[in-house]
Copies of this chain bind each other. A is one copy, B any other.
């Protein structure tokens, strides 16, 4: 036999049971998006490389999957590039297109391309796979889905409050207890200003982002390595050690950052989002966390991160506000705020906590046995009626041994096995076997739908 074919490294097939579970997650997220008024878009898997290159840093450019041009892809390529084996610049000639790396850049491209048709504020959601030529490892794949919701064209903090409500709805409905961590990039900027190191904002945030993992002393060592003065590090300490309730933290931050207009603005935004969220109520814990940084170069206001309380895993959702989504495509002034759900991690949490509903393990509601042509014809007529009632139903296609058919029903985790044999055919009845406990009952054809439902 030929070599067994397989999926490319870092990619996956999804089996029926995995699809059922994934759909449960996607459907829950999609339904929340819909209830909040977000509207779905889709963009093509491939984008022009000119759209993608330079948007994810040098490292990101390397992780783009590039598509070889069709036809004579060497035509017009500078021979020197080939001779010098300058693979990076040569790739740019061999390939005009690449696979999307995330949903944000294609969305920015979408907004610019269709700006004349769009009504602002525009609330869009998008659930599609993305591709990264990362080294595959546990929990990291080369193809994975992102679920993004963004509002562009509105500065109102109501959007932040709504997004937190939406996070809360999704995780409440999935049964996952979560903490939503909240911060504001302007607070981080204010802190950098306050300690006299406004140019060190990125270094500060990269370092303090690790407090949870390595502790404050190690963070301080790293800050010193990154060139912060001992005075700056000492000034930072009380801010990082802020504790108490959310209200207390906000009050302390307000006092500490009073001299920084940017910091004060950040505290005010944080307060509005925090109080507005509590007023509406959340099932989730809502934590003010000054150490939360998240892709700082990109965000300019609110920063959000969601962690599962009962599972040791990184963040399962997050997002924030950005000032200039489309500037890179020459269209300024489009600000927005958005969140993203990590479907793979959410899947792992639900599986670990055994929270998938039983239905996700089931296929069809009722499988009819096959006793031959006449019985099958009678079964198919009833199956047709069941389907019209919304009940999934099927017949074992072959007249196989009953043991095999029942074994199949078991393997498929079918709740009901229905039998129309010779005697049932004569009497116009159906024998219905409940697979869970093996109990059997004989019912009339028009009673089946009611019992199975």
Cβ of A19 and Cβ of B34 under 8 Å apart? Answer: no
* A242-294, CB < 8 A from B: 276, 279-281
Q: Known contacts being A35-B392, A70-B62, A158-B380, is A5 close to B112, with CB within 8 Å? A: yes
Cβ of A8 and Cβ of B44 under 8 Å apart? Answer: yes
Residues of chain B within 8 A of A235, CB atoms compared: none
Residues of chain B within 8 A of A43, CB atoms compared: 7, 13-14
Q: How large is the interface on A (under 10, 10 to 19, 20 to 34, 35 or more residues)?
A: 35 or more
Residues of chain B within 8 A of A113, CB atoms compared: 4-7, 13
Kindly state the separation between the CA atoms of A329 and B5 in the bound complex, as whole angstroms. 7
Cβ of B41 and Cβ of A13 under 8 Å apart? Answer: yes
Cβ of A331 within 8 Å of any chain B Cβ, yes or no, is yes
Q: Known contacts being A40-B20, A74-B87, is A109 close to B398, with CB within 8 Å? A: no
Q: Known contacts being A47-B8, A73-B87, A96-B8, is A363 close to B37, with CB within 8 Å? A: yes
Cβ of B47 and Cβ of A394 under 8 Å apart? Answer: no
Task: Tell which of B48, B121, B158 touches A5, judged by Cβ atoms closer than 8 Å.
Answer: B48
Q: Known contacts being A2-B329, A119-B408, A398-B155, is A68 close to B40, with CB within 8 Å? A: no
Cβ of B387 and Cβ of A36 under 8 Å apart? Answer: yes
Cβ of A422 within 8 Å of any chain B Cβ, yes or no, is no
Cβ of A423 within 8 Å of any chain B Cβ, yes or no, is no
Cβ of A154 within 8 Å of any chain B Cβ, yes or no, is yes
A453 CB, nearest partner CB in chain B, Å: 13
Residues of chain B within 8 A of A6, CB atoms compared: 48, 109, 113
Cβ of A391 within 8 Å of any chain B Cβ, yes or no, is yes
Q: Which of A123-131, A189-197, A348-356 contacts B (4 or more CB under 8 A)?
A: A123-131
Kindly state the separation between the CA atoms of A148 and B404 in the bound complex, as whole angstroms. 27
Residues of chain B within 8 A of A91, CB atoms compared: 68, 73
Cβ of A183 within 8 Å of any chain B Cβ, yes or no, is no
Q: Known contacts being A23-B40, A65-B67, A158-B395, is A279 close to B112, with CB within 8 Å? A: no
Residues of chain B within 8 A of A384, CB atoms compared: 165, 280-281
A71-85 CB contact bits vs B (8 Å, 1 = yes)?
111100000001001
Cβ of A46 and Cβ of B121 under 8 Å apart? Answer: no
Cβ of A143 and Cβ of B85 under 8 Å apart? Answer: no
Cβ of A14 and Cβ of B41 under 8 Å apart? Answer: yes
Kindly state the separation between the CA atoms of A50 and B6 in the bound complex, as whole angstroms. 10
Q: A5-B329, A14-B43, A23-B40 are in contact. List 7 more A-B contacts (CB 8 A).
A: A5-B51, A8-B47, A16-B41, A37-B393, A94-B94, A119-B408, A276-B377
Q: What is A's interface to B at a CB cutoff of 8 Å?
A: 1-8, 11-16, 19-20, 23, 34-37, 39-48, 50-51, 62-63, 65-68, 70-74, 82, 85, 87, 90-91, 94-97, 99, 109-110, 112-114, 117, 119, 121, 123-124, 129, 131, 133, 143, 151, 154-156, 158-159, 161-162, 165, 169, 276, 279-281, 329-331, 363-364, 367, 370, 376-377, 380-381, 384, 387, 390-399, 408, 411-412
A-B CB contact pairs (8 Å), 20 listed: A2-B329, A2-B330, A4-B112, A6-B48, A7-B43, A13-B42, A14-B41, A15-B114, A35-B393, A66-B68, A68-B94, A68-B95, A74-B90, A121-B398, A156-B370, A156-B399, A158-B380, A161-B380, A165-B384, A169-B387
